[in-house]
Structure 1
């Protein structure tokens, strides 16, 4: 009788495959044992596993020449997917999308925070397929202790995105989250908005904000009230867009969230603010030789705005506090624009400037909106602001 070869040990404790008696590295996926290469080539087996299931191999785990005695095993020999592994693979895939600009840096960071929260709430070594509807309800209840229903609704969406990605990648069975793990209804959101009040700045408040802002934030505030640009629009804006806008006195910049084209006239005050912000940017580039030179708005150290913890949100909050304004974020400028511009009764032109998706049949037949209509909208807002 032929002697059976001795099964090898894992190259390192958290190696995601297990040695199958047939002589290959394997993993159970959706209850089926899948094979990924011979025992004598664990590196090749690992690469085959990721190429077959995740399109691209994640940044980690990497093969190590020696086991790490201090490492805590995350994966078990049973081949079942644990939460830690699931989050690592999901975030690796989302990181690739962030690198290719399919999702924003802010979106990627939100996915990271969600994964960190669920790993703290549940055991990181828990089998993903062991999660039950009662577990998801408990997580939702815990989040509601510190967050409002709209924030929790966004968290629920991200958790479901993770589960769907695992299912689509054939890493798990379809996980049932139950009837209660869902976003709040529109009625609940309307009630919340009524309680919170309207998200509008007065003209005097905007002037106070401008007075308390530096050159860069002042330019961003003007883009917010002149063109209804949001946080991500400003943080992702290339300098080439600003340069062309200053020359043309119109800005041509698709909305980052929807990729809907926008063509908006600029006020003289906005152009002046953009020129001043560009001078600040040029000084930063000369001092730091930043690798983010293609972006319009940079930090003093040369980093791209929004890349780390410094975002428009924090800078705007500081200006608002100094202006003695109790409530309101940068996105309120967009709300204010929509409200004041709506008085023109040309909602089509307002929607065009705001970059709203128009799925109506009329939009399919409408190929452009005249500059005169767009000017009428922005002039209405300017008259309100400077009257």
Structure 2
């Protein structure tokens, strides 16, 4: 039996799951907590005395998410998002508040604070996660009645999302803009920009890329996308192969990832609290090419690929390269076992012809 410092509760870990018991201040010797632990060993769910608090709900939810992370059902980035949601919830609602005493005014205050920090899309995501947090407490039998969120604790309407997209303006790059980026970028960013343009690589894709999944001699890359677990098989442009060879040739070592910055740090987040460093590191690249630092980011290259690759007329091949996960109702995707290399090449070659125009030979 040990003390969970963040919550002040006695706890015990068994088979990857953390069990929480009494507050240390209420059970200083851990006697009642030990009795509850014996209930766990006997196969029964322990019942804690005292009120179930907001911090307890967060701890239980994160313990549940940790087990999913350990089982490979969610990614570290997703776990980080849930953890951040708990932090913001506890910043707006006192952690010692009884869940049963929560009322719509608490969630109105939380929504107001979230709206000051995030745009409509991110706001809607965090609201959904907060609802999931307290929904889990109900489903797990930790509370007896549903939490009263009130009519205002809802995601922004679709009209607001459309308005935001219009205000953000262009979210892809044209061919001339990509050439501007390639012209001023160093070898690392040149390769990353090409991967984003020719294969729809996102921030995490390039941050966690390793040489193990690339066959430069054959000009192919094959691996499951970290975010979705969908297998991706990607034919590489000659320009991309050449750029990756340069990166490997000058790799400083010290990291298994393909891309390492000038200070010897890769682009993953060592503390596992913020996903990766691509977003911030790409801003100087944009600035060097004469772009404003706001409005577009590295992920816009992924949107560029999707937009241009669809001109090949084979959306299935485009989705395969992007690593998109199909919906459960898409029966064609469930029955389809593979997409031929010929179709994949046609998709990436369509983008190459668009980018290099007259320079590209049949």
Normalising by structure 1, report the TM-score: 0.74
1:342 aligns with 2:313: no
- How much does 1:49 deviate? 7.3
1:150 equivalenced with 2:134 (yes/no): no
* CA distance in structure 1 between the partners assigned to 2:277 and 2:228 by the alignment: 21
Cα distance, 1:313 vs structure 2: 0.7
Number of aligned residue pairs: 331
Name which of 166, 180, 194 aligns with 2:137.
166
Q: CA deviation at 1:328?
A: 0.8
Paired with 2:42 and 2:140, the residues of 1 have a C-alpha distance of 9
1:205-248 residue CA offsets vs partner (Å, 9 max, x unmatched): 22222334333333222211111111122233343113xx3233
CA RMSD of aligned residues (A): 3.4
Residue 181 of structure 1: how far off its partner (Å):
1.9
Deviation at 1:355, TM superposition (A): 1.9
TM-score (norm 2): 0.79
Q: Which moved more, 1:360-369 or 1:141-150?
A: 360-369
1:216 to 188, 193, 197: 188
SS at match of 2:221: strand
Counterparts in 2 of 1:92 and 1:338: CA distance versus 1, 3 Å: same
Matched with 2:175 is 203
Q: Specify the alignment match of 1:284 in structure 2.
A: 253
Unaligned runs of 5+ in 1: 1-9, 18-24, 29-36, 56-76
More off after superposition, 194-203 vs 176-185:
176-185
* Distance (whole Å) between structure 1 residues aligned to residue 243 and residue 44 of structure 2: 46
Unmatched tracts of structure 2, length 5 or more: 12-19, 358-362
Residue in 2 aligned with 1:296? 258
Are 1:133 and 1:176, in contact at CA under 8 Å, matched by a contact in 2?
yes
CA–CA separation in structure 1 for the residues paired with 2:306 and 2:222: 19
SS in 2 for 1:284: coil
Contact 1:106 1:306 in 2 (8 A): no
Larger Rg: 1
Residues 162, 328 of structure 1: alpha-carbon distance in 2 compared, 3 angstrom cutoff: same
Contact 1:54-1:169 at 8 Å conserved across structures: no
1:353 corresponds to 2:325: no
| CA distance 1:238–1:342, change in 2 (3 Å) | same
Q: Distance in 2 between matches of 1:53 and 1:207?
A: 63
* Residue 318 of structure 1: aligned partner: 284
Shift of the alpha carbon at 1:143? 2.0
Instruction: Give distance in 1, aligned partners of 2:41 and 2:190.
Output: 47
Corresponding position of 2:349: 379
**1:178 lines up with 2:150 in the alignment:** yes
- The residue number in structure 1 matching 2:198 is 226
Cα deviation for residue 169 of structure 1 reads 3.0
Q: Is the 8 A contact 1:251 1:264 kept in 2?
A: yes
